[in-house]
Amino acid sequence: MQVFVTGAGGFIGRNLLPRLLADGHRATVLLLPEEDEAGLAGCPVVRGDITRPESLEGLFEGCDAVVHLAAAVGYGQTLERCRRINRDGTGNVVAAAVAADLRRFVQLSSVSVYGRRPGVPVGEDTPLRKTGDPYGDTKIEAEELLLEYARRGEIDLTILRPTVIYGPGDDKFLPKLVENLRSGRARIIGSGENRVDAVHVEDVAELIARVLADERAVGGVYNVNNPGNPSWNELLECVADALGVAPPRSHLPYPIALAAAGAMELAARLTGGEPRLTRYAVRVIGREYDYRVDRAKRELGFEAKIDLREGVRRECAGSA
């Protein structure tokens, strides 16, 4: 299968490409005009910008599937930028795919589309909820747009909704955790007994590979998480041990952490820096969520395999 991968220069794409090639696929990767193409497993590169539909014309010819990874994510994203990339950019990608008679479309979405629903089971049929978060809200809009194409019979769609993704090349989850632990100012938000909702990028690549290989995934929506993850207390102990620093012992109540993060964000906007803690991170860390992953196991035989403690030890060792 010839697979067209958007956002291939990001850390998910760079981990996915070797897996696709190992499965016998061929991959064409889309990069922005200025992006570095080194380390892309020797895959052919095409240049374009998903926010400029004219730049995508003709790029999808001869391909059998699209894996759409490109997105605006991370701290400081505005609603306008997220709409331009996550919603409108997705619309440009699917329109170009349909014009090339390319039906198979795999969309990497996020559990952010559910809003934050602590303490209740969250399965793939849980209603989506906008919360004012630019990333999550525009991921909902992108899904709605793609589902319209699927309802009209123009694409064979699969949507994946992962929790936090970490692994080689991650520049958000583990690096921020390491920075806070090394600073000596890290605090445990809440009790710390809630499970970490995160999944290794190699597990995400494994599920994408299964989706491409299995017709049963057409029309499917799948949460992606590792329910065997440790608690935040256990993870912090593990990372601190790998770094050779003392783990945090003091706790910060959730409401206080949320208020402090808001103040840090305001200060960062005034100074042009980046806050040490964000409200998004507090909501992810400080509450217990129950993202159900039974459907991927039942329909595709997929279970996340990489233990979070082992995954972060690998990354800490690699960055030492």
Instruction: Note whether residue 311 is domain-resident.
Output: no
Q: Check which CATH number belongs to the domain holding 28 and give it.
A: 3.40.50.720
- pLDDT number for residue 56: 97
Beta-sheet strands, E only, within 40-167: 45-47, 65-68, 104-108, 121-122, 156-162, 164-166
Number of domains in the chain: 1
- Cα separation, 281 vs 278, whole angstroms: 5
Q: Sign of the C-alpha dihedral, residues 90, 111, 12, 22?
A: negative
pLDDT at residue 162, as a whole number: 98
Q: Which 3 state secondary structure label does DSSP give 217? A: helix
Query: Would you say 199 and 304 are in contact if contact means Cβ atoms under 8 Å apart?
Result: yes
Residues 6+ apart with CB under 8 A from 256: none
- Which residues contact residue 271 at a Cβ distance below 8 angstroms, ignoring those fewer than 6 apart? none
Angstrom CA distances, 16 to 11, 23, 27, 34, stand at 9, 11, 10, 21
**What is the C-alpha separation between 205 and 102, in angstroms, rounded?**
21
Model pLDDT, residue 172 = 86
Q: Is residue 145 part of a domain?
A: yes
Report yes or no on 189 lying in a domain. Answer: no
Indicate whether 310 belongs to any domain. no
pLDDT digits (tens, 9 = 90+) for 149-204: 999 999 999 999 999 999 999 988 888 889 889 998 889 999 999 999 999 999 99
- Across 152-307, the runs of DSSP E, i.e. the strands, are 156-162, 164-166, 188-189, 198-200, 221-224, 251-252, 290-291
pLDDT of residue 312: 87
Within a domain: residue 236? no
Q: Which domain holds residue 36?
A: 2-169+197-226+289-305
**For the chain (length 320 residues), average pLDDT per consecutive 10?**
95 95 96 89 93 96 97 86 97 97 97 94 97 94 98 98 94 88 91 96 97 97 96 94 92 94 90 86 92 97 94 76
Question: Cβ(187)–Cβ(248) under 8 Å?
Answer: yes
Asked whether residue 218 is assigned to any structural domain, the reply reads yes
pTM: 0.94
Q: What was the pLDDT predicted at 191?
A: 94
What pLDDT is stored for residue 37 in this prediction?
Answer: 87
pLDDT at 115: 94
Q: Give the pairing type, strands 26-31 and 45-47.
A: parallel
d(C-alpha 220, C-alpha 203), whole Å: 18
Whether residue 14 lies inside any domain: the answer is: yes
Proportion of the chain above pLDDT 90, given as a percent? 80
Residue 244 lies in a domain: no
pLDDT of residue 318: 65
Q: Give the C-alpha separation, 316 to 320, whole Å.
A: 6
- Whether residue 280 contacts residue 288, with contact meaning beta carbons closer than 8 Å, is answered with no
Write out the two tokens for 127.
């209603």
| Residue 67: strand pairing partners | 5, 106
pLDDT at 109: 98
Between the CA of residue 29 and those of 35, 47, 110, what are the distances in Å? 11, 8, 22
